[in-house]
């Protein structure tokens, strides 16, 4: 198994010598030191061997032999932390995965934005309401969204709390995905319920009944669907944006088998569009860990910069090591993506090309709510598939913000959520998410693109 580059000056702490964007201003340096000391002694959340397995599965995506589904909350919340919400999120992701697996005819790599997605980059360091100016909300790993001094003051104890919540979340995910909840026949049954009970679902009756026939065909051939282990378990991996670097540093550990360093806070971590500076701390940190890593790329990224990011994060061109998550917006993707794809492919960089159709399509409604239109999300995805077909590259996957809850945060979809409906159930701690029905609708639409 090839490993990512050795970079002699790298250490888990070497990012500290580089400018680090988007870090909170921790007012109490001693408290931060204590939290770091504590985190450094806590057990890793994931095992290096699991991260290597994910790299291997992503290498299959690079080659067009698998598809990536990365999905979860924009920001996880300390307040909304229940077994039911974790279960419902996983359930939607599994339902999406079945439709995509069938349509793509290749395995779907299941990667949650979960069990660690607690930090948010912000466009301004402070927020002003009337005469009062307070630090911006940066995610529950840092502070709380309530607009008062105490809530907004960055508190390092939250780093440890985020670790604890990640550990419990991951524990439940492992139980669900290996303990029977992910059984293929069961997940298919949920999809059939969606098809039977919703207006948008009816459109997918054909795909659902084809899957049904495929399952019955397997059973008729003598495959015992209940006994076949691969049919009732899934590999489910975790990921988040590696934003607050002291947290990531303290969970970075040396693998006893290979001697390589892994960020054991998640299987995969990515760098955001706002923190991907070539000479910045975030790329320095990511360059030395051996996990699979991602980089978000927005419209301000030139083809040359994209190649430089690949060189920095994957100089040995290890397949599966690097995922480029493009997020241009429905309007711009057709212009901006092709030159980037050409430049990266011309340099021989093996990357997973994946589309985040959420973040380039955000706007503020007249009532002041951040929202996204289902149709625009779909339009960016459609363009993503078109561009990759034209360039001869594999559209490797999608990156989606969703929740299993019945929220009203994104506009449109079959329920026709309108601007006046946004207030009804708008609960996100950060960006607007697709609700369960919208997410499933989207997965079946993508299934249609994949088949055509
Ligand atoms: N284990 C296989 C996979 O992960 C098949 C499978 C079982 C599956 N349960 C599933 C696929 C639920 C998608 C969703 O692909
Ligand atoms: Mn977001």
Locate all alpha helices (DSSP H) within 75-233, ordered by sequence: 83-104, 149-152, 157-178, 184-197, 199-202, 205-220, 229-232
User: pLDDT band at 415, cuts 50/70/90?
Assistant: confident
Is the pLDDT reported for residue 267 higher than 80? yes
Summarize the confidence of residues 164-185 as an average pLDDT: 96
Ligand 2 center to residue 232 CA distance, Å?
31
Report the distance separating Cα 401 and Cα 296, nearest Å: 14
Report the distance separating Cα 76 and Cα 440, nearest Å: 20
Ligand 1 center to residue 230 CA distance, Å?
7
| Candidate from 107, 180, 230, 234 with most ligand 1 atoms within 8 A of CB, to mutate | 234
Ligand 2 center to residue 121 CA distance, Å?
9
Give Cα separations from 291 to 161, 242, 262, 314, 323 (angstroms). Answer: 23, 12, 6, 11, 11
Among the bound ligands, name the one nearest to the CA of residue 66. Answer: 1
Ligand 1 atom 4, closest CA: 234
User: Is the distance from CB of 447 to CB of 99 less than 8 angstroms?
Assistant: yes
| Candidate from 187, 232, 235, 440 with most ligand 1 atoms within 8 A of CB, to mutate | 187
Atom of ligand 1 nearest to the CA of 234: 4
**Which residues line ligand 1 at a C-beta cut-off of 6 Å?**
94, 97-98, 101, 107, 182, 184, 187, 230-231, 233-234
Element (H, E) at 132: strand 132-135
CA 360 to chain centre: 15
- Which residues lie at CB < 5 A from ion ligand 2? 74, 431
**Tens digit of each residue's pLDDT (9 = 90 or more) over 76-96:** 999 999 999 999 999 999 999
Ligand 2 center to residue 117 CA distance, Å?
10
Summarize the confidence of residues 396-423 as an average pLDDT: 93
User: pLDDT band at 202, cuts 50/70/90?
Assistant: confident
More confident residue, 3 or 413: 413
pLDDT score of 6: 52
Summarize the confidence of residues 277-306 as an average pLDDT: 98
Residue 389 structure tokens:
């077909």
Dmax (CA) of the chain: 72
Summarize the confidence of residues 286-301 as an average pLDDT: 98
pLDDT score of 2: 46
Report the distance separating Cα 101 and Cα 187, nearest Å: 12
Ligand 1 center to residue 257 CA distance, Å?
29
Report the distance separating Cα 300 and Cα 193, nearest Å: 43
User: pLDDT band at 1, cuts 50/70/90?
Assistant: very low
Summarize the confidence of residues 426-437 as an average pLDDT: 92
CA-wise closest residue to 441 among 89, 182, 196, 204: 204
Summarize the confidence of residues 148-154 as an average pLDDT: 97
Summarize the confidence of residues 363-378 as an average pLDDT: 95
Q: Whole-model pTM above 0.85?
A: yes
Ligand 2 center to residue 73 CA distance, Å?
8
- As a whole-number percent, the residues of the chain with pLDDT over 70 amount to 98
**Tens digit of each residue's pLDDT (9 = 90 or more) over 46-74:** 999 999 999 999 999 999 999 999 999 99
Residue 274 structure tokens:
């706002």
User: pLDDT band at 413, cuts 50/70/90?
Assistant: confident
Ligand 2 center to residue 189 CA distance, Å?
31
Q: Please, what are the domains in the chain? A: 14-451 (3.20.20.70)
Among the bound ligands, name the one nearest to the CA of residue 370. Answer: 2
User: Is the distance from CB of 126 to CB of 266 less than 8 angstroms?
Assistant: no
- As a whole-number percent, the residues of the chain with pLDDT over 90 amount to 90
């Amino acid at each position: 198994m090839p490993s990512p580059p050795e970079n002699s000056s790298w250490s888990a702490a070497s990012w500290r010598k580089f400018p680090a964007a988007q870090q909170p201003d921790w007012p109490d340096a001693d408290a931060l030191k204590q939290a770091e000391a504590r985190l450094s002694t806590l057990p890793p959340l994931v095992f290096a061997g699991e991260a290597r397995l994910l790299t291997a599965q992503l290498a299959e995506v690079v080659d067009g032999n698998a598809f990536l589904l990365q999905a979860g909350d924009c920001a996880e919340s300390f307040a909304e932390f229940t077994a039911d919400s974790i279960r419902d999120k996983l359930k939607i992701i599994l339902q999406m995965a079945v439709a995509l697996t069938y349509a793509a005819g290749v395995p779907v790599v299941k990667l949650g934005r979960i069990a660690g997605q607690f930090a948010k980059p912000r466009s301004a360091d402070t927020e002003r309401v009337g005469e009062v100016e307070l630090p911006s909300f940066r995610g529950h790993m840092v502070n709380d969204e309530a607009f008062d001094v105490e809530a907004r003051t960055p508190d390092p104890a939250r780093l440890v709390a985020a670790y604890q919540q990640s550990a419990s979340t991951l524990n439940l995910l492992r139980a669900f995905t290996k303990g029977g909840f992910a059984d293929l026949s069961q997940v298919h049954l949920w999809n059939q319920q969606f098809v039977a009970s919703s207006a948008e679902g009816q459109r997918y009756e054909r795909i659902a009944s084809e899957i049904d026939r495929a399952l019955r065909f397997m059973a008729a051939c003598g495959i015992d669907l209940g006994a076949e282990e691969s049919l009732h378990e899934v590999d489910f991996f975790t990921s988040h944006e590696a934003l607050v670097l002291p947290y990531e540093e303290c969970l970075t550990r040396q693998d006893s088998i290979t001697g390589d360093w892994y960020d054991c806070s998640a299987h995969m971590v990515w760098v955001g569009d706002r923190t991907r500076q070539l000479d910045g701390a975030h790329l320095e940190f990511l360059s030395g860990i051996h996990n699979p890593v991602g980089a978000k790329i927005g419209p301000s990224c030139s083809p040359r910069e994209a190649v430089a990011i690949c060189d920095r994060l994957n100089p040995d061109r290890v397949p599966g090591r690097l995922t480029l998550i493009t997020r241009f917006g429905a309007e711009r993707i057709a212009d901006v993506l092709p030159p980037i794809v050409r430049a990266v492919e011309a340099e021989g960089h093996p990357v997973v090309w994946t589309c985040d159709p959420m973040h380039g399509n955000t706007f503020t409604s007249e009532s002041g709510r951040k929202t996204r239109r289902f149709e625009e999300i779909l339009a960016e995805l459609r363009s993503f598939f078109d561009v990759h077909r034209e360039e001869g590259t594999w559209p490797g996957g999608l990156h989606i913000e969703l929740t299993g809850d019945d929220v009203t945060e994104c506009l449109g979809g079959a329920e026709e959520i309108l601007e006046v409906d946004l207030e009804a159930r708008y609960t996100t701690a950060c960006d607007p998410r697709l609700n369960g029905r919208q997410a499933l609708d989207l997965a079946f639409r993508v299934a249609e693109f994949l088949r055509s």
